[in-house]
Amino acid sequence: MVSQALVERAKEFHGHLCPFLVLGLRASEIALGKLGLKKAGERETVGEEILAIVECNNCFTDGVQVATGCTLGNNSLIYLDTGKNAVTIVRRGDWRGIRVYIDSEKLREKYFKREATKLFEKVVARREGTAEDHEKLSRLWTEIARKMMNIPESEFKIEEVRVKEIERAPIFESVRCERCGELVMKTRVEYVEGKPVCLGCLGKSNAVIGRGIVLNFEYPFVREERI
Ligand SMILES: [Zn+2]
Ligand SMILES: [Zn+2]
């Protein structure tokens, strides 16, 4: 069962309390428990010994990061862009993992009030909520999120999986972009007339945005004055 202290930490990290944040905590806790693991600490994060593999970039994923200690920045979070609410925890070495999947349709019918779903559509999906709607949604969301702390394992699809080995983050040397003068990871420059040029100066790079991984995303900065 998810502790109140963990929920508070997750809320602090995520900015608000919502059902999928808590489901991320609960799913992680189940997977860690079945593997006999605890949240990744110093040794595990330095060595990337435990990986959390998520399949979405939404509230759920923030719950996973807080509960597992596997984050985007410590290279222990792997993001698969399949668009599913699922997390797999795996220990590097034996590569045996536990994957926990959430069927949001099933949970919504059982645990969410119709009122909350309707309000979510108005406030979040259509962005049409009044201040009063926002407040009401926040109240309902908190109520549902609390229920998610103790949701039984039987509500999840839990499977043992064998994970194909995933490389550790390599360390690359940097080269200087010929145009902007900034240092860039060696694998992220292209050579134009024999000179290294960064993807920023070339105008496109792959990006993770709300809808997932987008290839050749247009570099979004318009340079003004240097301050
Ligand atoms: Zn959220
Ligand atoms: Zn450049």
Distance 170 CA to ligand 1 centre (A): 32
Q: State pLDDT tens for residues 49-81.
A: 999 999 999 999 999 999 999 999 999 999 999
* Residue 210 in this model has a pLDDT that exceeds 90: yes
pLDDT of residue 223: 83
Amino acid residing at 89: I
HSE of 139, CA atoms in CB hemisphere, 13 A: 7
Q: State pLDDT tens for residues 24-43.
A: 999 999 999 999 999 999 99
Among all bound ligands, the one having the nearest atom to the CA of 19 is: 1
pLDDT of residue 116: 87
* Among 212, 186, 209, CA closest to 199: 186
pLDDT of residue 226: 86
The sign of the torsion formed by the CA atoms of 196, 201, 203, 207 equals positive
Specify whether the CB–CB gap between 97 and 29 falls below 8 A. Answer: no
Residue 175 to residue 227: CA distance in whole angstroms:
24
Calculate what percentage of the chain has a pLDDT beyond 90: 86
Among all bound ligands, the one having the nearest atom to the CA of 25 is: 1
DSSP states along 113-168: -HHHHHHHIIIIIS----HHHHHHHHHHHHHHHHHHTT--GGGSEEEEEEPPP-PP
Give the 3-state secondary structure of residue 4.
helix
Residue 118 to residue 77: CA distance in whole angstroms:
33
Distance 198 CA to ligand 2 centre (A): 4
* Residue 182 in this model has a pLDDT that exceeds 90: yes
Cβ-in-10-Å burial (0-12, 13-18, 19+) of 23 comes to: buried
* Residue 224 in this model has a pLDDT that exceeds 90: no
Rg of the Cα atoms in the chain = 21
Distance 88 CA to ligand 2 centre (A): 37
Q: State pLDDT tens for residues 74-124.
A: 999 999 999 999 999 999 999 999 999 999 999 988 998 888 888 889 998
Q: Across all residues in the chain, what is the average pLDDT?
A: 95
Distance 17 CA to ligand 1 centre (A): 6
More confident residue, 116 or 178: 178
Give the 3-state secondary structure of residue 172.
coil
| Residues recorded for the chain | 227
Distance 125 CA to ligand 1 centre (A): 13
Distance 5 CA to ligand 2 centre (A): 44
Q: Which backbone phi and psi does 171 adopt, to 5 degrees?
A: -105, 120
Specify whether the CB–CB gap between 157 and 146 falls below 8 A. Answer: no
Give the 3-state secondary structure of residue 101.
strand
Among the residues of the chain, which ranges form H helices? Answer: 4-14, 19-35, 42-47, 59-68, 104-111, 114-120, 131-148, 199-202
pTM (predicted TM-score): 0.92
Average pLDDT over residues 133-159: 94
pLDDT of residue 135: 92
Distance 106 CA to ligand 2 centre (A): 48
Give the 3-state secondary structure of residue 212.
strand
